[in-house]
Structure 1
């Protein structure tokens, strides 16, 4: 199922205390592997694209690719627009049919970040979509790649922006092995009371990832794990003995199989497995107003 009721999706995940991996994809093999993994694990999943993916694969092309893969399956697939690059890409994503988008203001002063997030919250909610915003900086972004952790008081202020979810910098870094500051995450969870997001999730220690699911984290971004798996899969596939398939198809089938197992491992680790059909029933039977903003 291609999810068009994002608030109900969010409410279910948050209520049941697990996290959904949000996989960054840029081609057919990545997207197909993620959807197949979700089906095998009976898990809801998020697939996300950002401005780098748009520059490579095109927004329209990636949107229709994911939607085509998601619509016939019996697990919920929510498409999310990650770092937009330019603010206008938020509007473009909404017009195309994304039901979850991000405003990327973590590099701004707090007051400006709140103000700009609030401005986009009105637009996003009018389109029936969810808005994610960010506070603090993750490794690999801005300021020479140095992470800047956010405080619980600042995070509490960001709630005033009206965003549905908040990405917080508590130790994770893009493409790097990392340990989370679980005490800081706990403090932020208590001070905000809304669903939290972790970027740079590929390298988070498994114990920390599991702990985070019990500290209001509902979404963990996974990018580097798929990228590294794709590159490794190509190299491994090229070494396979020739068979009846054309060489490029044999290699890409191996890539999909490798990425599928990577995705399954994250779905299981974040406790999402087994929730797919349950959430699907709620999404299919929901009518009318889907409720207020999600808070604990």
Structure 2
């Protein structure tokens, strides 16, 4: 199911205290693998793209692939725009049916970040979408080698003034690198914000920290590097297989897809999302409209 009621999707995950992995994809094999994994695990899933994916595959082309697969799926699939690269891409993805988008202002002074967040929160909400914003920087692949840790007082001010639905906070994770979270800081941020939180650089977060994060208002963890590694390894393994009855390139790519599907299933299970797909789907189907208020812990 292609999810068009993002707040109901968010509310279910937040209230049931599990984490949905948001898989970063750049081609058909990646998108198909994670959506098939969600079906097999009876789990909701988020499938996301960023400016690097768009530069490679094209915004129209990649968005159409994901949406087509989601519309045919028995799993609830929410399409998310990750790091946009430039602000105009947020408007472009909203026009292409993304119901979850990110404003990437973590590198800006807080006042500018809040102002930008407020602007794009208004645009997202007008389109029926939810907005993710960011405090701090995660470092690694997108933002250089050094992370900038989020401050609890900054996150509280952002939530009060920015109007975003979810908040990505830098508390130790980094794009493409193994990490441990500062769980004390995460706990303080959860207490001061009370809205759904997001972790970037999720491929390398220690499994023990993931389990705790779900209890500290984290609803979404981004997974990119694990799929990239799996894709490359799958190509190498597939190329080493003896030829079978089908065209060689299809044989190799089927092996890649199967490997990525297993990686995605593991993350869905680890994050506690497995088993929630049909329950959430029932709520999405019954509801005539999305929620109008921001999802928040009382």
User: Aligned partners of 1:93, 1:30: CA distance in 2, in Å?
Assistant: 19
Counterpart of 1:288? 289
Asked whether 1:240 is paired with 2:241, we answer yes
Task: Name the SS of the counterpart of 2:134 in structure 1.
Answer: strand
Task: Name the SS of the counterpart of 1:78 in structure 2.
Answer: strand
Counterpart of 1:25? 25
1:15-164 equivalence runs, <5 A: 15-140=15-140, 144-159=144-159, 160-164=161-165
User: Aligned partners of 2:234, 2:131: CA distance in 1, in Å?
Assistant: 34
Counterpart of 2:219? 218
Shift of 1:178: 0.4
Counterpart of 1:200? 201
User: Aligned partners of 1:143, 1:3: CA distance in 2, in Å?
Assistant: 30
Task: Name the SS of the counterpart of 2:185 in structure 1.
Answer: helix
**Structure 1 portions without partners, runs of 5+:** none
How many equivalent residue pairs? 296
User: Aligned partners of 2:208, 2:289: CA distance in 1, in Å?
Assistant: 39
Shift of 1:145: 2.0
Shift of 1:289: 5.2
Task: Name the SS of the counterpart of 1:4 in structure 2.
Answer: coil
User: Aligned partners of 1:166, 1:143: CA distance in 2, in Å?
Assistant: 17
Task: Name the SS of the counterpart of 1:229 in structure 2.
Answer: helix
Asked whether 1:228 is paired with 2:262, we answer no
Task: Name the SS of the counterpart of 2:216 in structure 1.
Answer: coil
Q: Is the 8 A contact 2:33 2:258 kept in 1?
A: yes
User: Aligned partners of 1:132, 1:11: CA distance in 2, in Å?
Assistant: 15
Using the size of structure 2 for normalisation, the TM-score is 0.97
- Taking a change above 3 Å as real, the CA distance of residues 174 and 143 of structure 1, as seen in their structure-2 partners, is closer
Using the size of structure 1 for normalisation, the TM-score is 0.98
Cα RMSD after superposing both structures: 1.0
User: Aligned partners of 1:142, 1:23: CA distance in 2, in Å?
Assistant: 16
Give every structure 1 segment of 4 or more consecutive aligned residues whose post-TM-superposition deviation is greater than 3 Å. Answer: 141-144
